[in-house]
Amino acid sequence: MINVRARLRRERKPAQIDMAPMLDMVFILLIFFLVTTTFVRESGVEVDRPSALTAEEVGQSGLRFGIDVEGHIFVDGQQIDLRTIRAVSERFLAQNPDGSIVIVADRQVATGLTIKVLDQCRLAGAQRIAVAAEAPDGGR
């Protein structure tokens, strides 16, 4: 008579761990985090910000408009026109409904231009808008 159990023990292969499902899961998580990550959009211009005693440190914001000393407006390192600020802001807010906008203006820029940029952002529907300033050295 054939001993079935003895034959099964002889033919049994050692246990192996299949790594393919784990790799699939790692790649799915990687793709998920890449898709859900928000990236900061910098103004792309270096400005001399005005100082304010009430300036507060805030975290990274979503969209930054930069205004240099000549009155040129920048976003993502590219110069844009005042008329396109509203469209850029609307596109940003469509992608990030809770996103904030920061206007980084040079201290020599006329207040009127900064207000025009702020007005275009508000017309686009932005609720969280700030004007960047830096705390003076003697403050806080």
Q: Which fold has domain 39-140?
A: Nucleotidyltransferase; domain 5 (3.30.420)
The residue count of the chain comes to: 140
pLDDT band at 138, cuts 50/70/90? very low
The CA distance from 69 to 73, in Å, is: 10
Rounded percentage of the chain residues whose pLDDT exceeds 90: 15
The CA distance from 140 to 116, in Å, is: 31
Mean pLDDT over 59-82 rounds to: 83
| pLDDT single digits (tens) 40-68 | 555 555 555 555 555 556 555 578 888 88
Mean pLDDT over 81-110 rounds to: 87
DSSP string, 29-70: HHHHHHHH----B-------PPB-TT-------SEEEEE-TT
The CA distance from 69 to 86, in Å, is: 22
Q: Where exactly are the structural domains of the chain?
A: 4-36, 39-140
The CA distance from 16 to 111, in Å, is: 70
What long-range pairs does 78-87 form, CB within 8 A, spacing at least 24? 78/44, 82/113, 82/116, 82/117, 82/120, 85/117, 85/120, 85/121, 85/124, 86/120, 86/121, 86/123, 86/124, 87/124
131 forms beta bridges with 103
Rounded percentage of the chain residues whose pLDDT exceeds 70: 73
